[in-house]
Structures are given as C-alpha cells and as structure tokens.
Amino acid sequence: MRFSLQAHAAPTIWHKIGHVRWSLVALLCLLAAIGSVMLYSAADGALAPWAGRHALRFAVALGLMLVVALTDIRFWLRNAYALYLGVLLLLAVVEVSGTIGMGAQRWVDLGVINVQPSELMKLALVLALARYYHGLNPEQVRRPVMVLLPLVMVGVPTLLILKQPDLGTAVMLLAGGGAVIFAAGLSLWIVGLAMAAVMGALPVAWQFLHDYQRARLLTFLDPDRDPLGAGYHITQSKIALGSGGLFGKGYLHGTQSHLNFLPEKHTDFIFTMFAEEFGLVGTLTLLAVFAAVVGSCVAIALRARNQFSRLLAIGVTTTFFLYVFINLAMVMGLIPVVGVPLPLVSYGGTAMLGVMLGFGLVLSVHVHRDVQIGRHSWGD
Amino acid sequence: MTRDSERHRQFSRRTAVLAGGQALLFAALGGRLYYLQSVQAERYVTLAEDNRINLRMIAPPRGRILDRRGRLLASNLQDYRVLLVAEQTSDVELTLGSLNQIVPISETDLRRVLKETRQKRKFVPVTVAENLSWEDVAHVEVNAIDLPGISVEEGMSREYPQGESLVHVVGYVAPVAERDVKDDPLLDLPGFRIGKAGVERAYDKILRGTGGRSEVEVNAIGRVIRELDRKEGKPGADLTLALDLDLQHYATERLGDQVGAVVLMDVESGEILALVSTPGYDPGAFSRGLAPEEWRALIENPHSPLTNKAVSGQYAPGSTFKPAVALAALERGTIKPRDGVTCYGRLRMGGNTFHCWRRGGHGTVDLRHALALSCDVYFYEIARRTGIDPISEMANRLGLGVQLGIDLPAERRGLMPTRAWKASALKKPWSKGETVICGIGQGYVLSTPLQLAVMTARIANGVWAVEPRLARRPAVPPGKTPGEQFGFRPLNINPEHLQVVREGMMAVVNSRMGTAQGAAIKKPGMRMAGKTGTSQVRRITRAERSKRVKRNEELPWELRDHALFIAYAPIEAPRYAIAVIVEHGGGGSKVAAPIARDILIAAQEIERRHASPLATQLEGQEDDEVARWVARLRNDGAL
C-alpha cells in the first residue's frame, strides 16, 4: 500500500488526484478513442459529422467525471435521496409534458451535451438504494418487510420509463437496482421468489408491449420471418460481423457497413462495423478492454471500507456491464433488438454523460476508499 | 466494527456471484464472436458477397395545388444537378475548371466540392451544382467528352408561380429538420422536402404521396451495376382549393403597400375565396435555403411578413364587435330593438367616464340607429345591462374567441374574456368598467380577421354556424342544404333578432347617417351591409382629451388606429362575407370599407360572369377571359 487516506486527516486536492485510479481513466479514454476512430469510418472517412463531436463530448464528460471523482464520498451519501427525488421529479415532468405538449423534448439541454432524466435515473437509483442499505444492519436487511421501500424506489421510475416507452432503459433500471439489493444481502429465498415472479409476469408484460416491440421479439425468435423488414437489422448485422473473419477487412474497408446494408452504423450497430473491419482479433481485444473496465470497478467495490461506497460501486458497475452486454448480445443476434448504445463507443451524448458520471462516482469511491462511515453518524 | 466486517464479508460473497455471472456472460459473448467470425466466417463471407442487392427509396412527385378554377398555385419543376465522381477523372481540379466555363460555380461551392472529394470515398458522387435549367444541362452534355467524371441527375423542385401573393395560403416546402417527426422513411431521403407552412403543411401527408422502392445490384465496392426491380410509389394527390386566384390577386393589389389582412368567404359553404395577409415573402427562398442576412431581414421587419395576419393576427375588433354585443343583449332580453338610449357623448360609471367617439353625442338612438351611427354610449349601456359572460358566450357562438379549425397551421384563438377567465389568468375579480369597454370591442377582447369574417358569415347565413375551409368542398346534392351536407351546427339565434342586426348593418352603408355611407355599392342586386371599426392602439390621456384628441395623421405610424370593416353581400340573398383590417390605417370607414366594397363587387361580377352561358362556352379560354375582364373593369374605374 502506498499512501493511505485517513478520514480525519483532511486530504489536499493533490492527494486526491494522486489517488484517482488512472489506469481506469486510461481504459475509458481508449474506449472513446476507438469510438472516434470508428465514427470517422462510419462517415466514409470524415471527422464530420460524428467523430469530431464524439471526441469533444468525451472531453467535456471527462472533465465532469473528474469533478465527481474528487467530490467527497459523504457528499453523495448525504444527498442521495435528494438527488433521487429530484431526478424522479424531472422524469415525471418530462413524462407529463411529453404527453400534453406536442414536440416536447425528453432531454435537458446542456449546450454540447443533452441529458435524459432516464439516464440520470440509472445513477440516482443506485445512490438511493446504496444509502438505504448503508443505514441497515444485517438482521434488518434479511427481514422481508425491509425490501418494500427499495421495491418502490425501483418500481416507480421503471414504470415511468416503460410508459415512454423505453424498454432497454427499464430493463437496465430493474437489473441495476436488483444487483444492489442482491449485493446488500437480501435473503436468498426472496431472491428466488423475485425471479419466479419475473418469469410469471412475462405473459402479462407481453400485453403491454407496443406493436413494434412485439414485432422485434417475434423477429428475434425467427429472423427470417420478414428479412427485409424488422428482421433485416439482425440478419445484416450478423452477415457484416461474420464476414469480418479472423483479421477483418481492414480499416475503412468494411463493405457491408459502407454499402449501407448495415443500419444505424454510427449508433447502436457500431460494434458490427468494428467487427467487420477488425475481425475476431479486434473484437476479442475490445471485449477484453470492456472486461478490464468491469474488473477494475469490481476491485474498487471490494476494496472500499464502507457499505455505501461498496454498493454504489457495484451498482454503477453492473449498470455499465448491462449496457455493454445488451448492446453486444443484440448485434450478435443473441437477444432482441432494443435501442441500447455501446457505451463510450456509439455516437450520442446522453448515454456518454450518464456513463462518465457513473465512473466519476466509482472513482470517488476509490479516492475515498479508506473513509469509514458509521451507519447513522457520518463523521462529517 | 464487527458489524461492518460482517456486512463486508456478505457483500464480497454476493459480489463474487455477480462478477462471476458477468464474467460468464462476457465469455458467452466471446464464444458467440468465435462462432460467427471463425467457425461460420466462410458462410458469412459468401453471404456478404451475395449481398449485392441494395434497397433505395424513390421520392414520389408531390401533388400540385390548384385554385377553384384549376389554375396552378404550386407545381413541380424538373430541375437538374451536376455530380462528380472523383475516381473517374484523373484531375479533379482540371475537370471542375472546365465545368466552370460552362456552368459558373461559386468560390464556396468549389471549395466544398474539393473538400468532399478528398474526404469521401472515390466512387461516391459529390453534388457540384443544383437547380440547373435544361439549357445549362444541355451545354454540359454537349461537352461531356471534356468533362470526365461529371454526370447529370434529374430532380424535382417546387415552384410557386403566384409568388408572394399566395404565400400565406399555400406556404412552402423546405428540407426536413432535425426536430420534425420522422414517421415516414421518405423523410430520411437526402434533399427531401416537406410542407412547412400554409396548406403545404396542413395537407402535407396527402400531397406527399408514398415512396417507391428500387432494388439495385451493386458490385463488391458499391458501384451500381443495374436496377433489378422497381416499385413505383404513389404520387401525391393534387389539392384543389376553394380560393379564386383572380379575387386573391385583386385583394392583394387592393391592399397594396398597406399592412393588413383580408378574408373573403362563402356564407353558405364556409369556403375561403380569398385570404390575404400583407406583406408576403418569397416562398421559394425557404426551399432554396436562406442566407442569414435574408432571414434576419425577414424576422426583424416591423411589418412581420412571416406572420399570416388573417389567422394569426389578434386585434381588438373595435366597433365591428358591436353586432355581437347587440345580439347578446337581444337574446338576453336586456334591450328591445326599439328601446331608446340617450347619448350625451359620454357615460359616467363608478368614477370613470367612458367617451363616445362623437364628442357632442348622438341623442336618443335605438338599436338600428346605434349600429348605423356606431354610437359607443348605446353599446356601453347595453353591455353594462347584459354582463360580460353572456356577451362572450354569444361571441363564441359567432366564432370569436374559439378555434375555428381552418385547414391552416398557426390559427390563433383570439380572446373573449369571462369572469372565470380573469379570475384564473389574472387572479383578479372582474370589474364592471371592463364590461363597458368590451362592449365596444376594446379592452381584453381580441379576434383574428378570419374570426370576424366567420362572424359576419354566420350573421348573414342566419341558420348555420358556418365553418371556414380552404380546400374546395364537394358539391351539395340537390334537396340538401350546405349546412346539413357539411355537418355545421345550427346557430340557434332568434331570426328576428338577427334581422334587426342585419338591418342595422344595412343602414351603416346604405343610409345617409351610416358611418360607411361613402362606400355603398350602387349596382342593383349587389348591395352590401357592413360595420365599420376603428381599433385604438394607444391610450388617450385625460390631458389630451381636455385639449383636443390628436388626429391619426398627426401620429407616428405605429400609434395610429387600426382600420376594420366587415360586410356581406348581396343584401337580398347573402353569398359573400368579408373582413378587412388595415394595420394603423386610421378610420374603418375611410380606409377599410372601400377595400371591402371593391372586393365584394369583384366577387359578384366574377360570379355573374361564370354563371352566364357565354362563360361556359369559353371554358377553355377561361383564364385569359377573366384576366381581360378584370383589366377592363379596372379601366372603367369600376374597381
């Protein structure tokens, strides 16, 4: 161990900067760079309209991430509920004005980057749950009645987002929140019960899906049902991906992507384009980078010396993992098409900002890893 | 402390499970990649090579817009663009240089093309010049040998042969913007244009048609080899408007340089025959793309050319509101048609003094006289007796302060105040003085020229709540009234009361005391009834009133009164209703009434012309005939 940060010794900003896990930051920069390189190719070899903007947005998000990372972890503990309620309100306002006013926007404009409240909710939910479980002792956690409030905290925003409708985000909220509750030590029989309930609810959920969502699910089960319609994306994505072979067709030379057989190649399907141009060698390398990011974050979670930090880190990590997994599994034809981007690589500012703020929280956990916080007295 | 270490151990166990699960899922992804990119790679390479059928959308031609007699208001023009494929020429700059000799290319275009050819892949065509005429293109084709890599493509551009005079009705098309709702794959086509204003926007879906599909075979690097299959889309449907181009042009010309609006409509069917808002703007400008300074000039122009004043301009109706107040009082029974009210030139109420426009007063007047003379004190008094809510209710019934649902975007509601409205909007109780002010169409009362025309049409119709419409309505089958056919609601106003108000409006124009006697139509069978209005823009102070109220000519333009006039004709069997507003024009009788008179004469003359047997004989030459006829009338001084 090099330096150790004591709770009572007021650390200077330089100490804190020294304690940021720079290897993780470097991995994130690598991912964003890969994104820009692929967006350059997606635009047939031009910085405009995507690659340059992507890099610019990442730079802004990087700055914000470092600000979050250097903020005292107790600040996030203190304000967890307030942040959750604020984001929930924002989400409700957007939902209500979205149904009443025409052409209302689902996002808040921050100049170069737009933020969707649903994106912020992924973080706010993890914060609120981590704070809730931070205040409970192990016996309390095991009591079935104590899981009711977390269920409400997860359920309300999930229902609001399902109404938008945004299936991908809803699934991520549910799974991300579930991971925190699980890691906090929920009784295993309740976990089993919850899984059974989810299975049982599937036929009911089917009734609530929109026609296009049902079509996607049916197409997933049988892609040849409508090869030029809804099945087109999956089929073309698999062809582009598979034809990349071991070493790929070379940068800027992916035929399927550049001939526009591949839809949405700059957003949800950017991995397919990468796979076509760089082959299996490239895709496994990229997968390893993502795994390294997740592994690094899990290590941070295990190392932290207070429950809030641990739960916060594992919640954010799981959310990031879900982004990656859902997107990759989708473009490989393992799960139905849901609109989830590949974080830091796909074009689009709103997901990037959410993900980077999340990494800011994880880094903050690492910077303040030795801070001990009582269950009720927070030793400000 | 032990408690936390217990929690930590538990957390670590659970996290190990989570992380293990995630590692497994990652491994599954890796396995899938191995399967697709190694085991199955060969199969997919073959599929990719076969993958040569590229689907492309084909834009359907947009429907034309015609006036009621089939004359073109918007049509499509074949145009051409010149493209450059970089790999087909040895020297891009040289080729562009020779092209410049034939079709001038601007400095900025040249730089853009050079940049694009460097950035894009060599076989991707780059647009060099757009909106070229057939002649330009012919020159390019003749010199094709000297222009390697240059090709010509056909396209469609929208043309508006009537220009500014119709821009507020027809609107314009422009490229799809980021925030437009993309409910149709056509909107993703580069260069596709959709309706952004006027009926181009209101009927966009009908005019747009549905896109076709072309399946083309491309080779391994993407060059098109041949077309395999082509499914033509459905061209957009033509749209025929009820508008009469001659009347529209005439009304525009009659307003001239003045800022204002005219709405002329059929009192039976609600069809709009002319709808003018001045000044206009060039509809082609948006389609081509506006330079920043052009755009700034448009939005900074104090006469707001981009606003369709006929449906979006909200004005105090002034005295043109008085027929509505009269009907409210009659229906409520707060006054009888022959009851007299004495006007001494002012009305005192609760410490406030309300002035009549005529300083000396009008003496004792009944309803018909009050309308003819436009006596303010009479209407202050009946408004006071009736109360604001019944007045607003009657105004709503006549079409004021409600959305009329005309087939144009940006229709405004105007405002008819009620006690409930003021309590919720301004959080203040209603005061009696405000009722009195509303009685002469000032105060909170706001209406659009379209609403005033509809009110006039409903008073003239007497039976149905006529609804306005720009698109031509289908013919009414015999034995049915237009009101039933088009599903209008009944007006439900006592016919005797309507008759009294109509008589008052006749007297406005056709009696020697009327405020618009100078604007009477003398031709038999064409006479009109109307009501003048002068809506005050500024507040007259007590100090100014004690000396002398300034005349309009003494004021700067933007402080002068708005001139209004509403009318219908002919008196015996009403057919046309009109509303005219001239912003800051001065008095309604002097400025707006003569415009309304001339347009009503023109409308009736054109109707006679087309109804006569001669006109049906001349069907083919109709356009010329009417144009010549309008010119002759103008020479005669009749218009």
Residues on chain B touching A260 (C-beta within 8 angstroms): 54
Measure CA B514 to chain center.
34
- B116 in a structural domain: no
- B288 in a structural domain: no
Q: What is the pLDDT of residue A76?
A: 93
Residue A259 near chain B (CB below 8 Å): yes
- A380 in a structural domain: no
* Residues paired with residue B490 on neighbouring β-strands, in sequence order: B464
Q: What is the pLDDT of residue B15?
A: 93
Residue A287 Cα, gap to closest chain B Cα (Å)? 7
Contact between chains at A246 and B37 (C-beta distance less than 8 A): yes
Task: Determine whether B319 is an active site residue.
Answer: yes
- A374 in a structural domain: no
pLDDT tens across A155-168, in order? 999 988 877 767 78
Phi/psi at B227 (5° precision): -90, 130
Residue B183 Cα, gap to closest chain A Cα (Å)? 13
Query: A160 by DSSP, 3-state: which?
Result: helix
CB nearest to A328's CB, from B29, B119, B222: B29
For residues A88 and A121, is the Cβ–Cβ distance under 8 A?
Answer: yes
Residue B176 Cα, gap to closest chain A Cα (Å)? 15
pLDDT tens across B292-332, in order? 788 888 888 888 888 999 999 999 999 999 999 999 999 99
- B252 in a structural domain: no
CB nearest to B45's CB, from A245, A259, A325: A245
- A222 in a structural domain: yes
For residues A252 and A45, is the Cβ–Cβ distance under 8 A?
Answer: yes
Q: Is residue A179 predicted with pLDDT exceeding 60?
A: yes
Q: How many domains does chain B have?
A: 1
| Closest chain B residue to A285, measured at CA | B30
List, as one string, the DSSP characters of B383-424: HHHH-HHHHHHHHHHTTTTS----SSTT----B---HHHHHH
Phi/psi at A141 (5° precision): -60, -35
pLDDT tens across B594-616, in order? 999 999 999 999 988 877 554 44
Residue A243 Cα, gap to closest chain B Cα (Å)? 4
Q: What is the pLDDT of residue B633?
A: 52
CB nearest to A329's CB, from B19, B22, B29: B29
Residues on chain A touching B45 (C-beta within 8 angstroms): 242-243, 245
- B440 in a structural domain: yes
Residue B617 Cα, gap to closest chain A Cα (Å)? 51
Residues on chain B touching A103 (C-beta within 8 angstroms): 179, 181
Highest-scoring range by mean pLDDT, A217-221, A265-269, B330-334: B330-334
Stretch A326-340: mean pLDDT? 86
Residue A260 near chain B (CB below 8 Å): yes
Q: How many domains does chain A have?
A: 1
Q: Is residue B225 predicted with pLDDT exceeding 50?
A: yes
Residue B579: CB atoms within 10 A of its CB come to 31
For residues B600 and B521, is the Cβ–Cβ distance under 8 A?
Answer: yes
Residues on chain B touching A314 (C-beta within 8 angstroms): 11, 15, 18
HSE-up (13 A, CA, CB side) for residue B145: 1
Weakest mean pLDDT among A120-124, B116-120, B595-599: B116-120
Which of B1, B29, B201 to probe by mutation at the A interface, max A CB count within 10 Å? B29
Beta pairing, strands B239-240 & B65-66: parallel
A-B contacts at Cβ under 8 angstroms: 145
- A376 in a structural domain: no
Which residue segment(s) compose the domain that B580 sits in? Answer: 310-461+494-636
Q: Is residue B537 predicted with pLDDT exceeding 90?
A: no
Contact between chains at B47 and A334 (C-beta distance less than 8 A): no
The whole-chain average pLDDT of chain B stands at: 85
Residue B379 Cα, gap to closest chain A Cα (Å)? 40
Q: What is the pLDDT of residue A223?
A: 56
More confident residue, A181 or B148: A181
pLDDT tens across B407-422, in order? 999 899 999 999 999 9
Q: What is the pLDDT of residue B622?
A: 46
Q: What is the pLDDT of residue A250?
A: 86
Of B527, B607, B606, the C-alpha closest to B570 is B527
Weakest mean pLDDT among B168-177, B504-513, B607-616: B607-616
Return the CA Rg of chain B: 33
Q: Is residue A316 predicted with pLDDT exceeding 50?
A: yes
- A8 in a structural domain: no
More confident residue, B229 or B202: B202
- pTM, two decimals, is 0.60
Q: Is residue A228 predicted with pLDDT exceeding 60?
A: no
Q: Distance (Å, rounded) from C-alpha A208 to C-alpha A213?
A: 10
Q: Is residue A232 predicted with pLDDT exceeding 90?
A: no
Q: Is residue B146 predicted with pLDDT exceeding 80?
A: no
Q: Torsion angle of alpha carbons A284, A290, A295, A297, nearest 10°?
A: 170
Q: Is residue A380 predicted with pLDDT exceeding 60?
A: no
Q: If pLDDT is split at 50, 70 and 90, which confidence band does A19 have?
A: confident
HSE-up (13 A, CA, CB side) for residue B496: 6
**What percentage of chain B reaches a pLDDT higher than 70?**
88
CB nearest to B51's CB, from A256, A291, A307: A256
- A3 in a structural domain: no
The residue annotated as part of the active site, out of B287, B319, B392, B447, is: B319
- B70 in a structural domain: no
Q: If pLDDT is split at 50, 70 and 90, which confidence band does B223 have?
A: low
Residue A136 near chain B (CB below 8 Å): no
Contact between chains at A325 and B34 (C-beta distance less than 8 A): no
Q: Is residue B226 predicted with pLDDT exceeding 90?
A: no
Contact between chains at A259 and B222 (C-beta distance less than 8 A): yes
For residues B228 and B216, is the Cβ–Cβ distance under 8 A?
Answer: yes
Residues on chain B touching A301 (C-beta within 8 angstroms): 15
Q: Which of residues 40 through 69 in chain A touch B, CB cutoff 8 A?
A: 44-46
Stretch B555-562: mean pLDDT? 83
Q: Is residue B584 predicted with pLDDT exceeding 60?
A: yes
Q: What is the pLDDT of residue B123?
A: 61
Contact between chains at B37 and A280 (C-beta distance less than 8 A): yes
Q: What is the pLDDT of residue A199?
A: 80
Query: B311 by DSSP, 3-state: which?
Result: helix
Contact between chains at B222 and A258 (C-beta distance less than 8 A): yes
More confident residue, B638 or B502: B502
Q: Is residue A56 predicted with pLDDT exceeding 60?
A: yes
Q: Is residue B286 predicted with pLDDT exceeding 60?
A: yes
Which of B15, B85, B215 to probe by mutation at the A interface, max A CB count within 10 Å? B15
Residues on chain B touching A135 (C-beta within 8 angstroms): none
Residue A266 near chain B (CB below 8 Å): no
- B364 in a structural domain: yes
Q: Torsion angle of alpha carbons B261, B266, B269, B273, nearest 10°?
A: -60
More confident residue, B224 or B445: B445
Q: Is residue B425 predicted with pLDDT exceeding 60?
A: yes
Contact between chains at B120 and A45 (C-beta distance less than 8 A): yes
Q: Which residue has the tokens 């981007």?
A: A341
Residues on chain A touching B40 (C-beta within 8 angstroms): 242
Contact between chains at A291 and B55 (C-beta distance less than 8 A): no
Angle, CA B157 vertex, CA B151 and CA B163 arms, to 5°: 145
Which residue segment(s) compose the domain that A54 sits in? Answer: 21-367
More confident residue, B229 or A307: A307
